[in-house]
Amino acid sequence: MRLFYYKIKALSLVEMTVVLTIIAIVTSAIVIYFAGPGSRRLEGEARKIVSDLCWARDMAVGKHINYIITFDTTDDSYAVYEDRNRDDIPDAGEKLNEVRLETDLIPPTPASISFHFPYGRIQAATISLNYRGNSREIRIFPATGYVRME
């Protein structure tokens, strides 16, 4: 009597697990690649604002001069002023820098922030940035002038 043996080709459980793992890794890399540029741009813009706010606070403390940052929603930009005459009004001759943003800017109310010497204290403020459905907030605390990105 002769037995017939058929050779059946199939994937083992280990092989199937490896293939599914590779598919998951490639899929997650593609999702991160296409979702990343918008969130990275938003993160970069927020860090730029935080950096300038911290710089203005440090300069107000170090130089004993008020620094004013004004926000313009029509241009999605902000400008840094050194308030040399100490009138809390940004004058044209006092402008140090103007930065245009690539994200949508929702400025604080009022539309300017002043860091006063000698402690860098200001009024409380929240700045919001939006880009392609993502958002970031920057909070400024009044007692210390501490700036935090959320």
For 2-36, the pLDDT digits (tens) are 666 666 676 788 888 999 999 999 998 887 776 66
C-alpha to C-alpha distance for 61 and 31, rounded to whole angstroms: 45
Give residue-wise pLDDT tens across range 80-124: 999 888 787 888 888 888 888 877 777 666 678 888 877 666 777
Residue the block writes with tokens 């929603």: 73
C-alpha to C-alpha distance for 127 and 37, rounded to whole angstroms: 21
Q: Return all residues near 148 (Cβ < 8 A) that are at least 6 apart.
A: 138, 139, 140, 141
Burial of 105: CB neighbours in 10 Å, binned 0-12, 13-18, 19+: buried
**What is the rounded (10 degree) CA torsion for 39, 45, 50, 55?**
150
**Residue 75 tokens, joined:** 């241009």
pTM above 0.85, yes or no: no
Domains of the chain, each with CATH number or no CATH: 14-149 (3.55.40.10)
